[in-house]
Amino acid sequence: MGKMALFLVMALSLAVGIVTVTVNRSKNQLVENVTGFQKYTTARNIAHSGVNMLLSRMDSHDPSILDSLVPGKRAWMITNFMSGRCSVSIQLANPSALDTVDIICNSFFMDTSKYMKLRLRRKPVPFPVVGEAIGLRVPNVKFKISGTGGGKGFIDGRNHDEFGVLTPQPDTSNLPGVGVLYPADTTEVLTYKDNIDGTKDVCIDSSLFDPALFVDEYINAANITYNDGATISNATWGTKTNPWIIYCKGDVHISGTVTGWGILVVNGNLRVSGSIDFHGLAIAYKETIIDVLETGGGGKISNIIGGMLVAGPAGSSFEMRGSQNTVYSKKALEIVRYISKLQWYNILYWYE
């Protein structure tokens, strides 16, 4: 009887031991599973956050990213956060286009890593269609080009590169020199046809932009703002890889040497008497009569390379004096179309 009791006790102890070991093993496996999932989730969150941080730095015009987002280069961002590490790179998917980017991300958390590859298509907010070197959305516009000899202003709708060099001709991207709303406005423009070039000297363009449709986007994203009545003597606005948005909330006078890349928005009269070398889109608009006067500073060569749009009520004026050139550039407009602040993204594929 005693042996039987001892045997039962030993058997019970063994059973309890087996159950305990099994329970502990299950608990350990559960802990390992939970810990592994937590490490995987954290690594994945680091990767997702890294992609968002990279796009945010692009939106904030970080030159360490934008200066390398050019054909043949790859921009990198390496950062430590959430007790892990993230390495993200971005490059143009096609060196000849700015609208698609490839992103590769590697993240690490403890002994777990995560790999992601994305292709995103960049789409800008509404951007005006530029159909001429200068578009005048002004009924009964007062148009004038004055000066003598080579000192007269010049408008050219033929395509130029982003630096203002005429592309090999003929070029299918060539446009008219000047666009107006109504047939009656062509007569005054044609008075100065010797200083206008393009597929036509002047054309009727009923689709000329309405700044109210998109200009608020530019104002909200402006890199620099000038107050009404400002005189700008010397300034540098952005670069080719990091173009700016410049907003003048009222009349402005550019009197000195100004160079820039981007979108210039003037809600008022625009006077240029200094030397300006601006690559991109210039917009001047006003609810009351607007006057745009470009004088070129008495012999100084001034250029707007890209396109110019003017909008105002009947009787507004556009006048060029001196050595002021406004030339169409498809490439310059393409560059400023993809200013980072003005983008939203479509996911073409997302692999992880």
Burial 122-161 (b: 16+ CB within 10 A, else e): bebeebbebbbbbbbbbeebebbbebeeeebbbbbbbbbe
Distance CA 347, CA 32 (A): 35
The tens digit of pLDDT for each residue in 81-117 reads: 888 899 999 988 888 778 889 999 999 988 888 999 9
> Which pLDDT does position 152 carry in this prediction?
65
Distance CA 146, CA 272 (A): 14
Domain boundary assignment for the chain:
45-124, 134-337
Residue 342 has pLDDT above 60, yes or no: yes
Distance CA 326, CA 25 (A): 79
Burial 61-76 (b: 16+ CB within 10 A, else e): bbeebbebbeeeeebe
Distance CA 122, CA 101 (A): 8
Give me the residues paired with residue 42 across strands: none
The tens digit of pLDDT for each residue in 1-26 reads: 566 665 665 656 656 556 565 655 65
Residue 31 has pLDDT above 60, yes or no: no
> Which pLDDT does position 300 carry in this prediction?
46
Give me the residues paired with residue 292 across strands: 270, 318
Note the pTM of the prediction, 2 decimals: 0.77
Run of H or E including 190: helix 183-190
| Residue 117 Cα distances to 79, 80, 91, angstroms | 18, 19, 12
The span from the first CA to the last CA of the chain, in angstroms, equals 67
Of 350, 345, 351, give the one whose Cα is nearest residue 55: 345
Asked whether the beta carbons of 335 and 308 are under 8 A apart, the reply is no
Alpha helices in 60-108 (DSSP H): 63-66
